[in-house]
Chains A and B, each alone.
Chain A
Amino acid sequence: MAALPYYDTPAIDALNSQAVALLKLFGERGYTREEPAVLQPAEIFLDRSGEEIRRRTFTLMDPSGRELCLRPDLTIPICRQAVQDKRKFPARIAYNGLVFRHQPGEPQRPTQFFQAGVELLGLDDCAAGETEILALSIEALRVAGLSDFSLRIGDLALFGALVDALALPAQWRARLKRHFWRAGYVETLLYWLGHGDGKPRLPGNRAEIEALLDARADAPMAGRSREDIVARAMDRAAEAAALHLDPAVADAIAKLLDISGPAEESLARIRALLKTAGINLDPQLAAMDARLATLKTLGVDPARVQFTAHFGRNMEYYTGFVFEMWARDKEGPVQIAGGGRYDSMMELLGAKQRVSAIGCAIRTERVLAAKIFAGGA
C-alpha cells in the first residue's frame, strides 16, 4: 500500500459495496450513521489522545492562524458531538470514513485509510455492552466476507485493580496505571520498586519545605499553587520510606504482565500467580471468564482467542476491556479490527458525569486484502 493511496475503479467499488453492507448491518442493529468533518480543531486530539496518536496527527494552520488537524480517528469527534448535543443515552452511532495518520519512519504505510465502526455510549450494563459490541464486530467481519480471524483480548481494569491491591503510595499506583500502555516501562518501574533504594531527597516536615519555598519566592509559580507543591513535596518525602514492594510480589506481577497465550490457559496461570502474591482479583477474572463464554456462543474457536495481559492498545484512552481481530494478507499477520472500553473519554470531552463508552473500528481495506489472500491461497 502506498503512502498516498490511489483507489482504482475495482478497488473503490469493492470498498464501497463492503461499506454499504457494513452500514446496513449496523443500521439493522440500531446504530445510526453519523459523519464528522474531516478537518477538526487540533486541540481535541492534542489534548485528549496519547502521544501515539498525537505524533501521527497531521496538523495545519488555517489562514486565520487557527490550528486544525485531519481527523486521526472518528471516535473522538463523534463523542465530542454527543457531549455538545447533550444526547440521550444509551446512544448507538455508526460511521464509515477516512482517517489520516502520519507514519513517521514507515514511508510504505498509507497516510489515509477507511474505518468503519460503531460506538455504544452510555449503556450502564457494562457486561451487556461488551457482549453487544463483540457480537456486532464479529458479525460485521463475517458480513464483510471474512470468517477466518483470531482475537487478541486484554483488560486494563484488571491491571488497575492489581495495582490498587498493592501496598504502594497513591502517587505510585497512579503512575503505574498511567503507564500500563507502554510496553516495557511498567516492568522497569516494578523492578525498581522491588529492588531499588528509596532515598528521600526532600525534608519531611512542612516547616522545612515552606522555608525552601520562601527562599525561592522570586521564581515563577508556573501554574501550580504553593499548597500543591507543599503537598506533593510532603508526599514524596513520606513515600520514600513507604516506597518498597516485596520483591516476590514485584516479580509475580512482572511475570503476570508477561503472560500471553491461549486465553483459558492464560487465565489459569494468572490465578496461580495471584495466589502466590496473595492478591484477590476475582471480580475482574470472572468478567474475563464471561467474555470468553460469550465468544464461545458467538462461534469463535477458543483456541483462536489469545489473552495478552500487557495489552493496552497504543492509545491511552482505553480504560477496560480491549480487543483486536487479526487475519493474514500477503504480507503476513495484519490487524483488521480493534476496539474496547473508554469510560473516561466523555467526561474528558466535557460531559457532566461519567458516561460509559465502548466501540470498535474495522480497517476495511485490510479486511478486503485479507479476504483476497484467503480466497487466493
Chain B
Amino acid sequence: MAAITLAIPSKGRLKDNCNAWFASAGVTMEQTVGARGYRASFSGFPDVEVMLLSASEIASSLLAGDIHLGITGEDLLREEAPELTGRMHLIKPLGFGFADVVVAVSGYWIDVATMADLDDVCAAYGQTHRRRLRVATKYAQLTRSFFAQARISDYRIVPSAGATEGAPAAGTAEVIVDITTTGATLKDNGLKILDDGVILKSQAQLAASLTADWSAGARKACETLLSRLDPSSPLYAALAPQLR
C-alpha cells in the first residue's frame, strides 16, 4: 500500500495544468488500469497514490484528513476551513487556476460602488422590506467573514448551487458573492464588482492536510515527492514542524 495519497482535480483545465506542472518537474502520471480512471500513480514513486477527485471534494477530504496532499483552488480550501491553523498547510501556490472571489451588485445600482455604500443599502432595505437583503453565494464562510470585516450585518446568505450570477435577475437574491476570472460573465448579467469587493485572489494551491495520518513512512514519501516537485525551495521543511 502507498504511504501517502495525493488528490488532483479529475477533469478540466485544473487537471491539465496539474499534469503540465508534474511534467515540468519530470514526474509522469500513469492512470491505473481498471479503476475507472480515478486512481493513478507517479512512475518512480511507489509510495504515492494519486486520486482524481472533484475540486471541492479535495478541499473537504483534506479537512477530514482522508488524504495527505491535494491540489485545488484556494477559494475552496478557505471556504472549507476558514481557520486553516492546525487543519491545513498551504505548501505552494501553483501559478494557475487564477480567479477572484468578489462581491457583485447590479450595474443599475449606480449609487453603490463600495462596501460602505452596500452597508447603507442593506440597512435601508431592511427597514423598507422588513427582511434582510439577500446575498446569493456558494461561499458562505468567506462571505460571512468579509462582510463582518466590512462591518455589514444587515444581510442574509442564500446558498446557491450554481449560476449564482443569475440570482439578482431571477429575484432570488439582491447581491452575489461569486468567483470570476475575467468578469465577463458578471458583466453579461448586468453586474459590477464593488471597488473594495475583492474577497480573495485565488489560485491553485498544493496543500497538505494536518489531520491526516502522518506516519514516518508518509513523511518520508512526502519529503521525497516535494523535493522532486520543487527542488529549489524548502517546501517540506516548512510543512514538517506542523505535522503531529
Q: Report which A residues bind B (CB closer than 8 A).
A: 46-47, 50-51, 54-55, 104-105, 171, 174-175, 178-179, 182, 185, 201-202, 209, 212-213, 216-224, 228-229, 232-233, 236, 316, 348
CB of B111 to closest CB in A, whole Å: 4
Judging by beta carbons under 8 Å apart, are A222 and B111 in contact? no
CB of B101 to closest CB in A, whole Å: 19
Could you tell me the distance between the alpha carbons of A223 and B129 in the complex, rounded to whole angstroms?
Answer: 9
Q: Give 17 A-B pairs besides A174-B123, A224-B121, A232-B111 with Cβ atoms closer than 8 angstroms.
A: A51-B144, A54-B153, A55-B144, A175-B116, A175-B123, A182-B151, A212-B110, A219-B107, A219-B108, A220-B168, A220-B190, A220-B191, A223-B125, A223-B133, A223-B168, A228-B128, A316-B153
Could you tell me the distance between the alpha carbons of A165 and B115 in the complex, rounded to whole angstroms?
Answer: 26
Q: Given that A175-B120, A222-B168, A222-B174 are contacting pairs, would A47 and B132 also be in contact in the complex, using a CB cutoff of 8 Å? A: yes
| Interface presence of B228 (CB below 8 A) | no
28 contacts across the A-B interface (CB closer than 8 A): A47-B156, A51-B144, A51-B148, A51-B153, A54-B153, A104-B82, A174-B120, A174-B123, A175-B119, A175-B120, A178-B123, A216-B108, A216-B190, A222-B106, A222-B168, A222-B169, A223-B171, A223-B174, A224-B109, A224-B125, A229-B109, A229-B111, A232-B120, A232-B121, A233-B111, A236-B111, A316-B153, A348-B130
Q: Report which B residues bind A (CB closer than 8 A).
A: 82-83, 105-111, 113, 116-117, 119-121, 123-125, 128-133, 144, 147-148, 151, 153, 156, 168-169, 171, 174-175, 189-191
Could you tell me the distance between the alpha carbons of A139 and B113 in the complex, rounded to whole angstroms?
Answer: 52
Q: Given that A50-B153, A171-B120, A222-B105 are contacting pairs, would A209 and B144 also be in contact in the complex, using a CB cutoff of 8 Å? A: no
Judging by beta carbons under 8 Å apart, are B121 and A185 in contact? no
CB neighbours of A213 from chain B (8 A): 108, 110
Q: Given that A47-B132, A51-B148, A224-B121 are contacting pairs, would A219 and B191 also be in contact in the complex, using a CB cutoff of 8 Å? A: yes
A237 to chain B: closest residue by CB: B111
Could you tell me the distance between the alpha carbons of A202 and B174 in the complex, rounded to whole angstroms?
Answer: 22
Could you tell me the distance between the alpha carbons of A174 and B122 in the complex, rounded to whole angstroms?
Answer: 12
Judging by beta carbons under 8 Å apart, are B153 and A229 in contact? no
A225 to chain B: closest residue by CB: B128
CB neighbours of A50 from chain B (8 A): 153
CB neighbours of A201 from chain B (8 A): 113
